[in-house]
Amino acid sequence: MKIRLFIVVSCLITLSLITQAQNLKIGYVHVEKIFAQWPETKSAQKELAEYEDRLASRLQAKVKDFQTKLANYQNNGPSMDALTKRDAETELQNLQTQIQQFEANSEQSIAERNVSLLNPLQNKLKETIDQVAKENGYTHILSYGSSLLFTSDKSGDISYKVAQKLGFTLTEEVP
């Protein structure tokens, strides 16, 4: 009796696993390739580069001002009275501190701007991947670059459908 029960349970488990395996459809997507060729990503990268350039120009102006005042101090320092000399030294120290703070704040600001520009694009890409997967009956989508994908045929690649849904044509090579 126990043997029959064991055989019946084993058969039911096997049938259940076979049924689940038949419903499984796995696809993959080249996220990096899509992101590299997506016009919206290029636009965000251009905006970030322009922001970096503006900050670099402001930093350069601060450094130039510091260098001008330092040169003035070095040229006129010996002839300055003690009070003027101390004021000039304090001003130079303050300018140097401001430059260092501006550099640190700029790096943080650039990182924050990068996140604010790319997060919406990453979310949009994920939503689009989810839509394409659902429309095409995929139960699981893997990223092509991840170490989890060992082999696959081209029929599971939804990258071109995702790019099309995002409004551009994906090419073979990453620029």
Question: For the domain that residue 112 is a member of, what is the CATH number?
Answer: 3.30.910
C-alpha 157/C-alpha 30 separation (Å) is 8
Count of domains observed in the chain: 1
Task: Using the predicted structure, report yes or no on whether residue 19 has a pLDDT greater than 80.
Answer: no
Q: What is the mean pLDDT of residues 99-121?
A: 97
Does residue 173 lie in a domain region? no
Task: Using the predicted structure, report yes or no on whether residue 4 has a pLDDT greater than 90.
Answer: no
Report the pLDDT value the prediction gives residue 147, as an integer from 0 to 100: 54
Task: Using the predicted structure, report yes or no on whether residue 146 has a pLDDT greater than 90.
Answer: no
Does residue 90 lie in a domain region? yes
Report the pLDDT value the prediction gives residue 1, as an integer from 0 to 100: 62
Q: Which amino acid is at 152?
A: S
Does residue 95 lie in a domain region? yes
Q: Which amino acid is at 66?
A: F
Task: Using the predicted structure, report yes or no on whether residue 76 has a pLDDT greater than 50.
Answer: yes
Report the pLDDT value the prediction gives residue 24, as an integer from 0 to 100: 80
Does residue 11 lie in a domain region? no
Given a contact cutoff of 8 angstroms between Cβ atoms, the answer to whether 99 and 63 are in contact is yes
CA nearest 25: which of 153, 128, 123?
153
The pLDDT-based confidence of 153 (bands split at 50, 70, 90) is: low
pLDDT above 70 as % of the chain: 80
C-alpha 155/C-alpha 29 separation (Å) is 11
Does residue 124 lie in a domain region? yes
Does residue 145 lie in a domain region? yes
Task: Using the predicted structure, report yes or no on whether residue 18 has a pLDDT greater than 70.
Answer: no
Q: What is the mean pLDDT of residues 119-140?
A: 91
From the CB of residue 68, how many other CB atoms can be counted at a distance below 10 Å?
10
Does residue 12 lie in a domain region? no
The pLDDT-based confidence of 77 (bands split at 50, 70, 90) is: confident
C-alpha 68/C-alpha 62 separation (Å) is 10
Given a contact cutoff of 8 angstroms between Cβ atoms, the answer to whether 148 and 23 are in contact is no
Given a contact cutoff of 8 angstroms between Cβ atoms, the answer to whether 144 and 30 are in contact is yes
Dmax (CA) of the chain = 111
Residue 156: domain span: 25-166
Residues whose CB falls within 8 Å of the CB of residue 151, separated by 6 or more in sequence, listed in order: none
Does residue 19 lie in a domain region? no
Given a contact cutoff of 8 angstroms between Cβ atoms, the answer to whether 37 and 168 are in contact is yes
